[in-house]
Amino acid sequence: MHETPCHAVGNRGIHCVMDNLDLNLLVTLDVLLDEGSVVGAAKRLKLSASAMSRSLARLREVIGDPLLVRAGRGLVPTPRALELRGRVRQVVVDAEAVLRPALKLDLQTLARTFVIRSTEGFAETFGPDLVARVAAEAPFVHLSFLTKPDKDSTPLRDGSVDLETGVIGRTMGPEVRAVGLFRDRFVGVVRRGHCLSKGRITPERYASAPHVVVERRGLRAAMVDEVLERMGLARNAVTTVGGFGLAIALVRGSDMVATVPEKHTAGLCEGLHRFNLPVPVEEFAISLFWHPRLDADPAHRWLRALVLGVCKGAKREIPS
């Protein structure tokens, strides 16, 4: 009798393939590619390092590729591993969504803490409206705002952060979801009565004034200096700080000028004089980020919609 091979079409062939397929390996592969470390993956999956090493060996055998290879003291992914990373992540996310029970969201009884990582300017400008909206719709939901010192997406991946705001950066994980909140631009800010609060502001007047300059990794305000440099000018930097909040605080009690994102720091700039920059600088997009495992979570979707609504409804621009 002729025997049907395992790869043949039909129920018997499918059953034979599934007998040899351990779907748990997909979860293991997803975590290994995310961590890039056998030890790190073992900790996340609550396995011993030896058990994880055996799983990696099995994955290498099944896929026919080393997946992670030694480079110095660490491991780096092979081209095949990089190719599989996004596909494996989506398969795992879809599987989790299939197995997760479909519960109807009851905002009046929902008791949950959401962690939002953002700059202090975003929290002060949009936080009050967001907290008020959450309290009105879901009285037992708590929001926790964390400061954002960098663009590392690890907190989103490991679940310590639910949502994050900011500019899309090169270090952002490829699997991270994003939606635009608003477009922003840089403006100047000085205390009321400052000389730059009166008269026409030329590039020369702006550049020669004493500046408090914000120095942060990947800061787009550097574009202002690039434009000035092409004009043969440079900002008169008298002090530097690590964030917009401190820069604005220094401006309140001095004759310095700060260059800050307009909408992002609107709450921090209350009572100060803001002005349009006298040099052309491109706008940039502020986005909301989250991990794909939370895509289908009803409570998370509700919160994302609230953040979008609050940001879209904000009207604090400088009149043109």
Q: Where in the chain is the domain with CATH 1.10.10.10?
A: 11-99
Query: The tokens of 57 are what?
Result: 């060996």
How far is it, in rounded angstroms, from Cα 191 to Cα 173?
A: 40
Question: How many CA within 13 A on the CB side of residue 24?
Answer: 5
pLDDT number for residue 6: 40
pLDDT number for residue 18: 40
Q: Name the architecture of domain 112-184+285-313.
A: 3-Layer(aba) Sandwich (3.40)
- Listed as ranges, residues in the chain with pLDDT below 50 are 1-19, 218, 319-320
Quick one: which of 92, 89, 146 has its CA closest to 116? 146
Please state whether beta strands 210-214 and 74-77 pair in parallel, antiparallel, or not at all (unpaired): unpaired
The H-assigned helical ranges of 108-212 are 120-137, 154-157, 203-208
**pTM of the full structure:** 0.62
pLDDT number for residue 101: 62
Q: Where in the chain is the domain with CATH 3.40.190.10?
A: 112-184+285-313, 186-282
Decide: 191 and 247 in contact? Cβ < 8 Å. Answer: no
Quick one: which of 305, 267, 300, 307 has its CA closest to 286? 307
How far is it, in rounded angstroms, from Cα 231 to Cα 306?
A: 43
How far is it, in rounded angstroms, from Cα 158 to Cα 6?
A: 39
110 CB neighbour count, 10 Å cutoff: 15
268 CB neighbour count, 10 Å cutoff: 26
Q: Name the architecture of domain 186-282.
A: 3-Layer(aba) Sandwich (3.40)
Greatest C-alpha distance within the chain: 97
pLDDT number for residue 264: 85
Integer Rg of the chain from CA: 26
209 CB neighbour count, 10 Å cutoff: 19
Which residue is it, tokens 């590729």?
65
- Measured torsion, CA atoms of residues 245, 247, 252, 253, in degrees rounded to the nearest 10: 130
Please state whether beta strands 257-261 and 186-190 pair in parallel, antiparallel, or not at all (unpaired): antiparallel
Does domain 11-99 bear CATH number 1.10.10.10?
Answer: yes
Element spanning 142, H or E: strand 141-147
